[in-house]
Amino acid sequence: MALAVPAFAAAPASAPLLAFSARVAGDDARTRLVIDFDRKPEFEVHYVANPYRVLIDLPETDFGIKAEEMEARGIISDIRYGTMAAGRSRIVLTAARPIGVVLAEVQEEKGATTYRLVIDTAIVTDQAFQEKMKTQSWQEASASAGQSAMLLPGGKAGGPFVIAVDAGHGGIDNGASGGVTKTEEKVVTLAFARQLAEALNKLPDTRAFLTRDKDEFLSLSQRVQLARNEGANLLISIHADTVRQKDIRGATVYTISDKASDSLAASLAERENLSDQIAGIALSEEPAEVADILLDLTRRETQAFSVNLARSVVGAFKDQVLLINNPHRHAGFRVLTAPDVPSVLVELGFLSNKDDEKLLVDPAWQKKVAGLLAKAVGEYRTTVVANGG
């Protein structure tokens, strides 16, 4: 049976590629991924371990593909795709055991102006996978590459009060998804982050900026570094997760701690910390603890400020926004690790609860909560100044 191939007008060379259809087929030994493009795609294949992943890097690409067309099958346990950064997109194939690419080619469709990318994967030994990693010349650029190890102060002397507003997830990392509207978490967090930045910028002598202002991927370390580069006085990371218990709803404010306050906090932190892995970034080992008493004191002081900010947020939300039971919780969220920038992670609610989901996608509700959060920041700032902070 002949497949109907859509006709495309010639796109400008600078326009993103369009991936307009895909299919996945395979068994427990081999799996094939086929993606149709409007133009010939340049691509590179890379390998990352822990877990086993194959990365397919592409120029900027619009993925007009139905979700069911890219459902994982065979030896592939998960498939992610989306924007990585300006001019770059990525497909990540994750497997439970070592895999290798045995065929990767672009085929021109006869009688059409479209192209087909074919990626065949097959199981390999762990030794073979490690050898593929050793022989590849590619290495993911580090967020801190070329940057000084010098710690920047939280805030610049004589300047405005600076707040980094961090919209969780983005690009290839969609985050959670609503059960009713199917709205992706990355869409909710960016919409709210824009509302929050607008509300914060109305405060006197205040400058709020977005760590991401579009649908792009940022690693957790990049988010932290962006806040530090701007000399931020605060970092507020916005999220809207899902949990198995559909009846759980309400906002939560998290601060960092080596030990989680409860099992819910621990599971959410573990899931949020997987953001880098979803995008195919290999997690580096945690750096050895710096034996510097001044740095240690800075961290303690920063953590104390973070707790004060969390309390201000909970106070502003009380009787205005539904809060979860014990709304101030703590866990080891990587996005909160700036040693010199007080940071909180705000879970606005749960996309797994239909009542929360309805509010989370409502612009009027977002504006109201953003205003309350900005009020909490204003009160926190007044308290810090009053105490000589």
Q: What does each C-alpha distance from 326 to 185, 261, 262 come to in angstroms?
A: 23, 10, 10
Dihedral (Cα; 326, 332, 333, 338), 10-degree rounding: 110
How far is C-alpha 296 from the chain's CA centre? 28
pLDDT of residue 385: 66
pLDDT of residue 11: 57
CB-based burial label for 122 (10 Å; 0-12, 13-18, 19+): middle
Per-residue pLDDT of 289-319, as tens digits, reads: 433 445 565 578 899 999 999 999 999 999 9
pLDDT of residue 387: 64
Helix (H) or strand (E) holding 186: helix 185-200
196: which 2 tokens? 């929050």
pLDDT of residue 86: 83
CA angle 8, 12, 17 (to 5 degrees): 65
CB 380 within 8 A of CB 343: no
pLDDT of residue 300: 82
Taking the C-alpha atoms of residue 78 and residue 81, their distance in angstroms, rounded to an integer, is 10
pLDDT of residue 257: 87
Taking the C-alpha atoms of residue 314 and residue 47, their distance in angstroms, rounded to an integer, is 44
Coil, helix or strand at residue 26: strand
Domains of the chain plus CATH, in order, are 17-135 (2.60.40.3500), 161-386 (3.40.630.40)
Per-residue pLDDT of 126-140, as tens digits, reads: 888 999 999 887 766
CB 370 within 8 A of CB 208: no
CA angle 124, 93, 22 (to 5 degrees): 120
Taking the C-alpha atoms of residue 110 and residue 88, their distance in angstroms, rounded to an integer, is 28
pLDDT of residue 142: 39
pLDDT of residue 283: 59
- Could you tell me the mean pLDDT of each successive run of 10 residues in the chain, 389 residues long? 44 81 91 95 93 94 93 93 90 92 90 89 89 81 34 51 96 92 96 98 95 91 88 96 94 92 93 87 52 57 93 96 96 89 96 96 98 97 72
Q: What is the pTM of this model?
A: 0.75
pLDDT of residue 23: 95
pLDDT of residue 13: 60
Q: Give me the count of residues in the chain.
A: 389
Helices 185-200 and 363-386, axial angle in degrees (round to 10)? 50
Tokens 């139905």 locate to 66
Between strands 161-167 and 234-239, the pairing is parallel
Beta-carbon contacts of residue 318 (< 8 Å; ≥ 6 apart): none
pLDDT of residue 1: 31
Coil, helix or strand at residue 84: strand
